């Protein structure tokens, strides 16, 4: 497993838009705020040309998005590449992505939601650790949330225990100034069947909506990667953006039958963003319809994914997650 060097003051942070771009006035303010925040902390920021453009959900044509990513891949000053935002079309640019160059120039790649397509593929194709955590816009808030401080601290090489947060934002709030925090309004409570659950293994996961597009493609090296780390076992973390219970059930069945979960040690599910069911089937029931026969621990409502704040999940790291009395904690090591 390749772990890039820890980031250090004076390094450059690369910002690119492999999916959508940012064009609204408030979003542009947030991008500027994020740059100022990082610069105050001793980091330079390099934006690729199409971070602030978008047409029909794409920051640029797929080949250009890949070329802009490659500029950061080959820049020796850049040690951390963060996606500007999510979207819908990142998968298109994978066809033009130079994974050999990525492997030859190890650095941290971060994002969540649609960036799953790049992060997950880098980890399973290049055997390189990647980071499922905030997109660049998250760092534009005036007063950084603890989850952002911990995100940076972890990539600076500091050892810490991440703990579940007291509150989360259940929905979306319109930004007015671009400096807004997450506006948390709902108590966090991690859920599992037992009084206490402890799961250890190699972390791997991301947004299910995107993973279902990857399975079976030439970029799907998941079963082989899991085979490589079968002695550690795989601690899967998963979250969904807009999957219905029907799509969730069949999607998890698909991944299971593709061999993804052969060496699973357990599952941690983030809070679903938009969830519906034609048959009135709740989220847990949909998950257990596909995974229940594995007899493995399953955790729900974790601080992972779209409903912030979110923990920093390092794909490929060894991790232990403990859940007790509705609270969760996670430690990670190489």
pLDDT in tens, the chain (334 residues): 999 999 999 999 999 999 999 999 999 999 999 999 999 999 999 999 999 999 999 999 999 999 999 999 999 999 999 999 999 999 999 999 999 999 999 999 999 999 999 999 999 999 999 999 999 999 999 999 999 999 999 999 999 999 999 999 998 888 999 999 999 999 999 999 999 999 999 999 999 999 999 999 999 999 999 999 999 999 999 999 999 999 999 999 999 999 999 999 999 999 999 999 999 999 999 999 999 999 999 999 999 999 999 999 999 999 999 999 999 999 999 9
Rounded to a whole number of angstroms, the distance between the first and last alpha carbons of the chain is 8
Output the CA–CA distances (angstroms, integers) from residue 142 to 84, 205, 303, in the order listed. Answer: 17, 30, 22
| Residue spans in the chain of domains classed CATH 3.50.30.60 | 186-333
pLDDT of amino acid 12: 98
The 3-state secondary structure of the chain reads: CECCCCCCCCCEEEEECCCCCCCCHHHHHHHHHHHHHHHHCCCEEEECCCCCCCECCECCCHHHHHHHHHHHHCCCCEEEEEECCCCCCHHHHHCCCCHHHHHHCCCEEEECCCCHHHHHHHHHHHCECEEECCCHHHHHCCCCCHHHHHHHHHHCCCCCCEECCCEECCCCCCCCCCCCCCCCCEECCCECCCCEEEEEEEEEEEEHHHHHHHCCCCCCCHHHHHHHCCCCCEEEEEECCCCCHHHHHHHHHHHHHCCCCCCEEEEEEECCCCCCCCCCCCHHHHHHHHHHHHCCCEEEEECCCCCCCCCCEEECCEEEEEEECCEEEEEEEC
pLDDT of amino acid 171: 86
Specify whether the CB–CB gap between 229 and 197 falls below 8 A.
no
- pTM confidence score: 0.98
Task: Count CB atoms within 10 A of the CB of residue 219.
Answer: 21
Interatomic CA distance for residues 28 and 44, integer angstroms: 18
Tokens 């997650």 label which residue?
Answer: 321
Specify whether the CB–CB gap between 113 and 132 falls below 8 A.
no
Interatomic CA distance for residues 233 and 33, integer angstroms: 40
Structure-block tokens of residue 201: 């293994």
pLDDT of amino acid 109: 99
Task: Count CB atoms within 10 A of the CB of residue 243.
Answer: 24
Q: Which CATH class is domain 12-159?
A: alpha beta
Interatomic CA distance for residues 310 and 146, integer angstroms: 10
Interatomic CA distance for residues 83 and 21, integer angstroms: 9
List the one residue out of 165, 158, 140 whose CA is nearest residue 310.
Answer: 165
Q: Sign (positive/negative) of CA torsion 64, 66, 71, 77?
A: positive
| Residue spans in the chain of domains classed CATH 3.40.50.10740 | 12-159
**Which of 3.90.79.10, 2.60.40.1180, 1.10.10.10, 3.50.30.60 would CATH assign to domain 186-333?**
3.50.30.60
pLDDT of amino acid 172: 84
Specify whether the CB–CB gap between 265 and 199 falls below 8 A.
yes
């Amino acid at each position: 497993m390749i772990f890039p060097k820890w980031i250090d003051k004076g390094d450059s942070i690369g910002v690119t838009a492999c999916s959508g771009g940012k064009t609204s006035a408030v979003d542009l303010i947030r991008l500027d705020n994020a740059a100022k925040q990082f610069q105050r902390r001793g980091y330079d920021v390099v934006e690729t040309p199409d971070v602030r453009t978008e047409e029909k959900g794409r920051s640029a044509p797929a080949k250009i998005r890949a070329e802009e990513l490659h500029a950061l891949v080959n820049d020796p000053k850049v040690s951390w590449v963060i996606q500007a935002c999510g979207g819908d079309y990142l998968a298109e640019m994978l066809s033009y992505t130079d994974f050999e160059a990525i492997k030859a120039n190890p650095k941290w790649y971060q994002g969540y939601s649609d960036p799953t397509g790049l992060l997950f593929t880098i980890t399973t194709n290049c055997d390189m650790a990647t980071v499922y955590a905030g997109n660049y816009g998250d760092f534009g808030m005036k007063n950084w949330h603890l989850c952002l401080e911990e995100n940076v601290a972890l990539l600076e090489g500091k050892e810490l225990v991440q703990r579940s947060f007291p509150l989360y934002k259940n929905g979306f709030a319109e930004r007015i100034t671009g400096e807004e925090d997450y506006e948390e309004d709902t108590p966090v409570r991690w859920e599992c069947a037992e009084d206490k659950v402890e799961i250890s293994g190699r972390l791997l996961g991301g947004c299910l909506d995107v993973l279902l597009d990857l399975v079976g493609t030439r970029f799907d090296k998941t079963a082989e990667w899991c085979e490589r780390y079968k002695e550690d076992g795989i601690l899967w973390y998963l979250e969904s953006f807009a999957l219905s219970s029907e799509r969730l059930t069949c999607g998890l069945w698909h991944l299971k039958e593709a061999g993804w979960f052969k060496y699973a040690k357990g599952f941690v599910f983030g809070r679903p963003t938009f969830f519906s069911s034609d048959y009135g089937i709740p989220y847990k029931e949909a998950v257990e319809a596909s995974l229940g026969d594995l007899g493995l621990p399953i955790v729900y409502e974790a601080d992972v994914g779209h409903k912030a704040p979110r923990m920093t999940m390092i794909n490929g790291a060894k991790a232990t997650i403990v859940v007790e009395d509705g609270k969760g904690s996670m430690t990670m090591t190489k």
